[in-house]
Amino acid sequence: MLLRDVLWRVQKQVGDGTATAAILFASLYEQGVRYIAAGGNAMQLRKALERGIETILKALDAQTQAIQGQKNLTRLAESLCFDAGLAPMLGEIFDTVGHYGFIELRNSNSRQTSHRYVAGSYWPSKTLSPYFYTNPGALRCDLYDAAILLSDLDFNDPREMTSVVQSVLQSEHKALLIVANSLSESVLGLLVAAGRATPLKVVAVQAPEAGVARIAALQDLAALTGARPLLKDAGDSLRGWKLSDLGGARHIWSDNRRLGIVSGQGDPRRLRQHIRSLQAAYEAAESDKKEPIRNRIGRLLGCSAAILIGGDTESEINLLEERLKKSCALMRLALHDGVLPGGGIALLNCQEALNDLHTTSDQDEQRAAYSMLMRALEEPFNTIVSNAGYEPAAIRSELNNAPAGFGFDALTGQVVDMTAAGIYEITQVLKQAVRIGFSGAATALTIDTVVHKRKPEVAIARS
Amino acid sequence: MAEEIQQIVLTPIQGQTCWLALRPSGLCRSDDAGASWQTLLSNEQLASKLARLIVSPDFAHDQRLIVGGQPGIWWSQDGGRSWQPSEIELPLPSITDFAISPDFKRDQTAFAASTADGVLVSYTGGRRWARWNIGLFDHRVLSLAISPNFAHDRTLYAGTSSGLFRSNNSGRSWQEVTTPLGETAITAVQVEKHYEATALVIGGTRAGLFLSLDEGDSWHALGDDQLPASIKAILTSNDGYGLERLWVLAQEQLWLSDDVGASWRRAGLSQSSAAIVALAALVDNGHYKLLVADREGGVQLMERDS
């Protein structure tokens, strides 16, 4: 039961690594139970185990290397999704959009899965009237060199909006985008008429998102375009509006689902500060709160890609979507935190640091704890080798004569340079498997009775 | 020749050196060291201000020229006798600089910097251009430089109004490079091979000249107080050890260094005191050729480091 909780936590935090965590847990727990049954001090053992775990985590950090380049990312993708067709696409996408990239998974109209990059940044939104479409056939409007009035207000008074349109007409702007919560019929009529009767092209769209996310989206749009947003919460209205409140963009597009901004004309220094503050918030956020912040950063950096998922049946498409979601999440972790040599080699390499502790420690419990951890660190490697039908001791002997960084490729049965062969572990995944797997086992060794809930609060998504 | 020259280019062709000069009125070519000029492209034809020119590294064979306007881009495949507008999604960009792949003959890759649309890339020898600004959040790009080893490292640099950006994947995405210039506009960038390292030299509007030999991780100043600020152009001898001879155009003065920027001296036109506005260099049969243009339209070839 405790093991289930351990695996649940690993899956929830990093989405992978449960098998490694289970193997580490089982090995340490079995060794620990034997030691305690023979009269060892459980609490002293646990304390030493915790010190040993920290040493392993530091040793893993020391081995971590950044992963970059389309070729390496493609190899990593193949090891994550086990699909030679998808891997080159994921490798190219992540080489292009990077860790912060905003990747949208959509159903394709064809059987093939494809991808495309979206110029600029886009938000969920919609054009407030079909009369605004500049290309009615495609249900789309495009504005070039447009001014932007940014708000989350309800515009109901046509007189106030008239003064805005007149001011913009007298300026150098050729087009005007109005972002609002809603427009009254009379304001809508005024804007449509202005678009037809004057050289100014006018489009109105709904403010993106809702609630707190809307404020965040408007802040991002403001940094990108240089606009000063008029906000309900700040008590703003069109009465105090000035021409300098307008932002700008080289190209704006909108349809019935999205609002896109290409080459916003905001101050790049202000935009840089805004991105940096979001990056700091991202690093400080807990893992389940990171995604919305990451999407904001990705949008501001113009890193947007769409994967159009194709398939013959709905279940095939759903399965592919789940696999892509998991692979994308792990690719992001790899880009952000780096990778380690795979196949259990990174864990074997940590034995040296533990051995140093072992030789310098003077307590029985400490020596026992470090020995147990060293033994447990061998288990993932042994399991991989055994599962491939080879004898672990023989392969270990081969590895002892191989250069540093070499490991066992279970697919080919060869001892190879793991980095050159593209056999990686994602650092964050392995570290969580080590931390949670070993800590769980250490906790279990000091527990006699466990009270547990009958059902977990949330089911783990199928992966 | 009274008209100011915005850019000059030297290119070898059929045993001679061809001069190309971009002026507000159009693009001119001289095959006789400036004695006579032939108009290749006039602004009346384009109804646009010409801003920048780039010549194919294989010009002697492919005759490919690309010019950037304000706005628009045009290309020629017959040495400038005929021109076609490039295909670009609206709105048309105003071009500030070009960079062309050293392996252009094979990959047909060129890059264009623009005043408000970031960087555009063409994989079709200039026929079609697309904006690729992933990670490049400052779209006011003032200068571009491409790695001499681009075919292998796929690296290029963009100097913008607020800093320097690098791409390691042929311009598909960009990362910001921290420089000693902070958020100052980077007006000139040059990438050269310097013995075993790839050297990156940048110049800004408020500060002087800086060199990095580790892709921008660390920097040191070149010239200290000897050079004026506001670097407009950086030029190397382009002979394989590019930084041995380094020219810099700053505040309409030409400066020359023969010791990788450790010391500098003024260089210039022997018969003119006019402000220098453009320069181009070529190594031809082991001889340096430096073409210098002044504000009054004078153009002079300097065979030596005068």
Query: CA A400, A405, A410, A414: dihedral to nearest 10 degrees?
Result: -70
Give the C-alpha separation, B282 to B303, whole Å: 10
Burial A356-388 (b: 16+ CB within 10 A, else e): ebbeebeeebbbbbbbbbbebbbbbbbbbbeee
The count of residues in chain A is 463
Q: In chain B, what residues touch A122 (CB-CB under 8 Å)?
A: none
- B168 → chain A, closest CA residue: A69
Q: Which of A134, A8, A5 is nearest to B90 (CA)?
A: A134
Instruction: Give B25-34 pLDDT, tens digit per residue.
Output: 888 888 887 7
Name the closest residue on chain B to residue A121, using Cα atoms: B134
Integer Cα distance of A53 and A59 in angstroms: 10
The partner residue sitting opposite A303, judged by closest CB among B117, B134, B140, is B134
Q: Which residues in A291-448 belong to E strands, given as ranges?
A: 304-309, 339-341, 406-409, 414-417, 424-426
Which residue on chain B is closest to A253 by alpha carbon?
A: B90
Beta-ladder partners of B23: B26
pLDDT the model gives residue A453: 64
pLDDT value at position B239?
58
CA gap A70, A73 in Å, rounded:
5
Compute the distance between CA of residue A196 and CA of residue A192 in angstroms, rounded to an integer: 6
Other Cβ atoms closer than 10 A to A272: 18
Nearest of A126, A187, A139 to residue A161 by alpha carbon: A187
Do the chains contact at A250 and B91, CB–CB below 8 Å? Answer: yes
Residue type, A310: G
Contact residues, chain A, for B172 at CB < 8 Å: 95-96
When computed from its CA atoms, the radius of gyration of chain B, rounded to whole angstroms, is 18
Flag whether residue A260 sits within 8 Å of chain B, measured between CB atoms. Answer: no
In three-state secondary structure terms, B232 is strand
The answer to whether B277 touches B4, Cβ cutoff 8 Å, is yes
Are A119 and B161 an interchain contact pair (Cβ–Cβ within 8 Å)? Answer: no
CA dist B155 and B139 (Å) reads 19
**B136, B160, B169: residue with CB nearest A70:** B169
The pLDDT of residue B272 is 57
**CA nearest to A388, candidates A341, A342, A343, A433:** A343
Cβ(A371)–Cβ(A363) below 8 Å: no
Determine the pLDDT at residue A380.
94
Residue of A nearest to B152 (CA): A69
CB contact under 8 A, B137 and A68: no
Question: Phi and psi (nearest 5°) for A185?
Answer: -60, -40
Interface test with A, best of B154, B173, B174, B181 (most A CBs within 10 A): B173
Residue that the structure tokens 């210098």 belong to? B292
Rounded CA-CA distance A79/A67 in Å is: 14
Q: Integer distance in angstroms from the first to the last C-alpha of chain A?
A: 21
Question: Which of A120, A263, A275 is facing B116, going by the closest CB pair?
Answer: A263
Nearest CB to A95 within list B118, B140, B169:
B169
Indicate yes or no: CB of B134 within 8 angstroms of CB of A268.
Answer: no
**Contact yes or no for B131 and A119 at CB 8 A:** yes
Q: Which two three-digit tokens encode residue A343?
A: 């196949």
Cα A77 from Cα A305, distance rounded (Å) = 16
Instruction: Note the ipTM here.
Output: 0.89
Closest residue to A96, CB basis, from B117, B162, B172: B172
Tell me how close the Cα of B269 comes to any Cα of chain A, in angstroms. 39
* Spatial separation of the C-alpha atoms in residues A204 and A133, rounded to whole Å: 10
Nearest to B139 among A96, A263, A272 (CB): A263
Chosen for mutation from A102, A250, A251 (greatest number of chain B CBs closer than 10 Å) is A250
- Of the candidates A142, A251, A268, which has its C-beta nearest B137's C-beta? A268
pLDDT in tens, chain B (306 residues): 567 788 888 777 766 777 888 887 888 888 887 788 888 888 777 767 888 889 998 888 998 999 998 899 999 999 888 889 999 998 999 999 999 999 999 999 999 999 999 999 999 999 999 999 999 999 999 999 999 899 999 999 999 999 999 999 999 999 999 998 889 999 999 998 877 778 888 888 777 889 998 888 899 888 777 888 788 888 887 555 567 788 888 888 888 888 888 888 887 665 556 788 888 877 666 677 788 888 777 787 776 544
Query: HEC string of B51-109?
Result: EEEEECCCHHHHCCEEEEEECCEEEECCCCCCCEECEECCCCCCEEEEEECCCHHHHCC
DSSP bridge partners of A349: none
As given in the structure block, the two tokens for residue A35 are 């030691």
Collect all residues with Cβ–Cβ distance below 8 Å to A394 and sequence separation of at least 6.
none
Q: What is the pTM of this model?
A: 0.86
Nearest Cα of chain B lies from the Cα of A144 at a distance, in angstroms, of 6
Alpha-carbon torsion (B71, B73, B76, B80), positive or negative: positive
Residues of A in contact with B118 (CB under 8 A): 263
**Going residue by residue through chain A (463 aa), what tens digit of pLDDT does each one get?**
778 888 888 888 888 889 999 999 999 999 998 988 888 888 888 899 999 999 999 999 999 999 988 999 999 998 888 888 899 999 999 999 999 998 999 988 888 999 999 888 999 999 999 999 999 999 999 999 999 999 999 999 999 999 999 999 998 888 999 999 999 999 999 999 998 889 999 999 999 999 899 999 999 999 999 999 999 999 998 888 899 999 999 999 999 899 999 999 999 999 999 999 999 999 999 878 899 999 999 999 998 899 999 988 989 999 999 999 999 999 999 999 999 998 899 999 999 999 998 888 888 888 999 999 999 999 999 999 999 999 999 998 888 888 888 889 988 888 898 888 888 999 999 999 999 999 999 888 887 766 666 666 665 655 4
CA distance A197 to A388: 75
Cβ-based interface (< 8 Å): residues of B facing A: 90-91, 116-118, 131, 133-140, 160-163, 168-169, 172-173, 175-176, 183
Q: Which long-range contacts (CB under 8 A, 24 or more apart) does A137-141 make?
A: A138/A255, A139/A255, A139/A256, A140/A253, A140/A254, A140/A255, A141/A203, A141/A253, A141/A254, A141/A255
Determine the Cα–Cα distance for residues A66 and A87; give it in Å rounded to an integer.
19
Cα A21 → chain centroid: 22
pLDDT of residue B305: 46
Nearest CA in chain B to A143: B91
Who among A98, A269, A271 is closest to B173 (CB)? A98
**Number of CB pairs < 8 Å for A and B?**
72
A132 in Cβ contact with A192 (< 8 Å): yes
Best of A269, A277, A279, A297 to disrupt the B interface (most B CBs within 10 Å) is A269
Which residues in A lie closer than 8 A to residue B169 (C-beta atoms)?
Answer: 69-70, 95-96
Place of tokens 């074997």: A348
Count CB-CB contacts under 10 A for residue A352: 10
Best of A140, A272, A304 to disrupt the B interface (most B CBs within 10 Å) is A272
Among the listed residues B4, B172, B189, B31, the one whose alpha carbon sits nearest the alpha carbon of residue B99 = B189
Best probe of the A interface among B88, B92, B129, B137, by most A CBs < 10 A, is B137
* Residues of chain A found within 8 Å of residue B160, distances taken between Cβ atoms: 268
Nearest Cβ partner of B117 from A69, A95, A263? Answer: A263
Contacts of A265 in chain B (CB under 8 A): 116
Taking CA atoms, what residue in A is nearest to B132?
A119
- Name the residue facing A250 among B117, B135, B172 (closest C-beta): B117
CB contacts, 8 Å: A300 with chain B: 137
